[in-house]
Amino acid sequence: MHGGLGRTMPSARNVIDTEGLLVRAVPFGETDVIATFLTEAEGKLGAMIRNGRKPSKRLEGVLDPFHTLALRLDDRGKELCVLREARIVKVRTALASDLNALDAAGKSLRWARHLCPPRIKEARAWEIVNSLLDELNRSPEGASDALLAKTGLDLLSAV
């Protein structure tokens, strides 16, 4: 074929291995999920999770918020990466025992999603959110307005 018609160029592909927190998951189509992660290495990233709504061992617990995840993403230079692998590396189940702790954790993840720009590493924001989640997991009943307010101000200052 002349002039490259009918040929496909190999796509630029980068693999991202990083820890991350799920900050949002939205159903897409019948079986997929579009997730937003706050990652340690790349900042906030969007990712397509193929068959994310189907029960599978591959994603067991990964779409539950508050756990720290080890992520492997294919980045093809588009708006969304594609999630290839994920596993939980830090479980935070104790914070689910208290509604105030759940509310504080959810607010902190929502703030991080709104404050952190896409694909810009925000190491301090990563530390702040993880510290709050760890504290809430250690002492769920210790979730206080003061702790949440401090976290919010720290996030604003960091970003």
- How big is the chain by its Cα radius of gyration, in Å? 18
More confident of the two residues 93 and 62: 93
Query: Cα–chain-centroid distance for residue 17?
Result: 13
**What does the pLDDT read at residue 61?**
74
Which residues, 6+ apart, have CB-to-CB distance to 107 below 8 Å?
148, 152
At 106, the pLDDT band (50, 70, 90 cuts) reads very high
**pTM, full prediction:** 0.87
Rounded Cα distance between 76 and 80, Å, is 8
- Judged against a pLDDT cut of 90, whether residue 63 lies above it is answered with no
More confident of the two residues 129 and 96: 129
Task: Look up residue 126 and give its two tokens.
Answer: 């990563």
**What does the pLDDT read at residue 19?**
97
22-31: long-range contacts (C-beta < 8 A, 24 or more apart)? 22/62, 22/63, 22/64, 22/65, 22/67, 22/69, 22/109, 23/65, 23/109, 23/110, 23/112, 23/113, 24/109, 24/113, 25/49, 25/52, 25/63, 27/53
Mean pLDDT of 133-148: 90
Residue-wise pLDDT tens digits, 70-91: 999 999 888 999 999 999 999 9
- Judged against a pLDDT cut of 60, whether residue 45 lies above it is answered with yes
- Judged against a pLDDT cut of 80, whether residue 20 lies above it is answered with yes
